[in-house]
Structure 1
Amino acid sequence: MTTPLTATRVFFAFPRLSDPSRHRDYNEWHQLDHRPENLALPGVVHGDRWVRSPDCRTAGTGDGWLRDVDYMAMYWFAEPAKQSIRQWKELGDTTLQQGRRPDLRWTARPLMGIFQPVRGYVHPRVRISAAALPFRPHTGIQVLVSEVEDAGGPEAEALFDWYDRVRIPRMLELPGVAGVWSFRSEAVTVEGADGSLKPLSGSTIRVTLAYLDADPLGVAAELAAREPGWTAAEPPPDLACGERVLLSGPLRTIQPWQWDWFDQQDSRDEVGFDEPRTRE
């Protein structure tokens, strides 16, 4: 049986809605149709999804392809991964033919594709395995997505060594971080200037995903407060191999039917408010 510890392939997608009024429609489709069908496949070990809500957006940064993304989704595939991925793609084609892909009308995925798990880490207080970490309930994630040039060179190796020995262990020291998984891209597509998707070539996308059991905004604030001192004793290694941060910050775990992060109440109502308010 495949577990996250033995899986060799995962899928990541970073959706962006072109129509802001469709967030509730998108979440209803994804949570009540798309995700259950995917999780029912024998080749899908696990799947999850998170939202980059407005408060999370202000607590993080985005650049390039991921500057304006609203969500993040991932699926772990059972072995043999090639067969599992083929069945997963066939399901997508089937639901499209059944008219069950309304998201295609107002959703873009500027970066998506197949990644390889690199390593899992768990804080000792959690007392579970790295294989069980994705299944553990969590409040959200702290994610770092970066593009690394010449990922097979010595400078990149030094960067990855720093992540493994310094950055990730220090992330585990943060209150609220239960564990971390890291991934590298294998075959991904990115959005071109004309909006079309094209294969990424010449660089590698790295994803560092920390699972949280505390308020994601609180963890992000603590990370920001501590991070400047982490590299004080040595030059930042990302400068040596051209690492570019595409997305860094917290995302919230999506709860059933709680899809109101982007809702806005009309400010010109009978109560006389001058500014739009977030609906409670």
Structure 2
Amino acid sequence: MTLPGTPSDEVDDVLAAGRGDVTTLFVSMARRHPDGTDADYLRWHTLDHRPEQHRLSAVRASLRLVSTPQCRSARAASPAPYDEIDHVMTYFFTEPAGMESFLALSKALGDAGRKLPLLPPVERGVYDVSGRIAAPRIKIGADVLPWWPTHGVYLLLEHGDAAPDPLLEIDGVAGVWTATSLPVGARLASASAGQKVSYCFLDDDPVLTAERLQPVLHERWRRDGVEPLLAAPFHAVVPHEWDRYVP
């Protein structure tokens, strides 16, 4: 189905109405549940913990992603320790200062007995959003991609810079956000400063899109000298179908 009209990013009056206020991402990457109860964890996090974060004025959106065995087999790059990542949780913040209230709320929920043990972490990072781009065919502007109902995300974690435009030429990639990790200290994050993360928002099956992306990514790494840390498809969690996508 082709949606009507002119894409938002080509309409000055639409952009003048607002560009959104997200500047910062908090990205938590974790292993599968040690006891295999990933679905139970996703149920708790999606019904309890994640909604509570939206009482914070600094939190503007959130996105939970999970890898399946089929997703794993479609990865283009996954060296250790990033090969162990099966869960990715992202919060979209208006500013890095919002992390203080984020931590305070987490403590308050824990004190109220409202927390499960966390999934085993691989890496956490606080990232400064540096680029947004959307495919004209989806009509919505790049600024609002975090609120768009995506099938999933193809996630790139890299050292080095490369333009996102070739990624948009792949069927299934509807838009890309890029961000750079900030030096915020071990209390919040373990990602090295300057590390890049890219979210390719998908409007097709993540595994099928991953297959189409592979040659473009290998050319990106060869041509631009980018070092891949993780290049992997993920499904978005489907509420109330907790075991639909699990590691």
Where structure 2 has 5 or more consecutive residues not aligned to the other structure, the ranges are 1-17
- 1:212-223 map, 5 Å: 212-223=202-213
- Is residue 112–residue 189 contact of structure 1 (8 Å, CA) maintained in 2? no
- Residue of structure 1 equivalent to 2:178: 182
- Residue of structure 2 equivalent to 1:141: 153
* Distance (whole Å) between structure 2 residues aligned to residue 53 and residue 4 of structure 1: 34
Determine which of 55, 75, 95 is the counterpart of 2:109.
Answer: 95
Secondary structure at the counterpart of residue 114 of structure 2: coil
Opposite residue 105 of structure 2, the aligned amino acid is L
Determine which of 57, 61, 85 is the counterpart of 1:69.
Answer: 85
- Is residue 125–residue 190 contact of structure 2 (8 Å, CA) maintained in 1? no
- Is residue 171–residue 223 contact of structure 1 (8 Å, CA) maintained in 2? yes
- Residue of structure 2 equivalent to 1:244: 227
- Residue of structure 2 equivalent to 1:270: none
- Residue of structure 2 equivalent to 1:7: 22
* Distance (whole Å) between structure 2 residues aligned to residue 198 and residue 175 of structure 1: 34
Cα deviation for residue 54 of structure 1 reads: 1.4
Determine which of 25, 28, 37 is the counterpart of 1:22.
Answer: 37
* Distance (whole Å) between structure 2 residues aligned to residue 199 and residue 29 of structure 1: 25
- 1:120-269 map, 5 Å: 120-146=132-158, 148=159, 159-160=160-161, 163-164=162-163, 168-187=164-183, 199-200=190-191, 203-228=193-218, 230=219, 236-238=223-225, 243-260=226-243, 261-262=245-246
Cα deviation for residue 124 of structure 1 reads: 1.1
Mark the structure with the bigger radius of gyration. Answer: 1
* Distance (whole Å) between structure 2 residues aligned to residue 131 and residue 226 of structure 1: 24
* Distance (whole Å) between structure 2 residues aligned to residue 111 and residue 118 of structure 1: 20
Cα deviation for residue 95 of structure 1 reads: 1.2
* Distance (whole Å) between structure 2 residues aligned to residue 251 and residue 188 of structure 1: 26
* Distance (whole Å) between structure 2 residues aligned to residue 218 and residue 199 of structure 1: 31
Q: For each residue in 1:162-206, what CA deviation from the matched residue of structure 2 results, as whole angstroms up to 9, or x when unmatched?
A: x12xxx11110111111000011003678xxxxxx98455x5221
Determine which of 56, 81, 106 is the counterpart of 2:71.
Answer: 56
* Distance (whole Å) between structure 1 residues aligned to residue 202 and residue 183 of structure 2: 28
Q: For each residue in 1:12-50, what CA deviation from the matched residue of structure 2 results, as whole angstroms up to 9, or x when unmatched?
A: 010113514221221111111111101232221111111
Opposite residue 144 of structure 2, the aligned amino acid is A
Cα deviation for residue 7 of structure 1 reads: 2.5
- Residue of structure 2 equivalent to 1:152: none
* Distance (whole Å) between structure 1 residues aligned to residue 185 and residue 83 of structure 2: 16
TM-score by length of 2: 0.83
Determine which of 98, 103, 121 is the counterpart of 1:109.
Answer: 121
Secondary structure at the counterpart of residue 187 of structure 1: coil
- Is residue 25–residue 127 contact of structure 2 (8 Å, CA) maintained in 1? yes
- Is residue 5–residue 130 contact of structure 1 (8 Å, CA) maintained in 2? no
Secondary structure at the counterpart of residue 131 of structure 1: helix
* Distance (whole Å) between structure 2 residues aligned to residue 177 and residue 198 of structure 1: 28
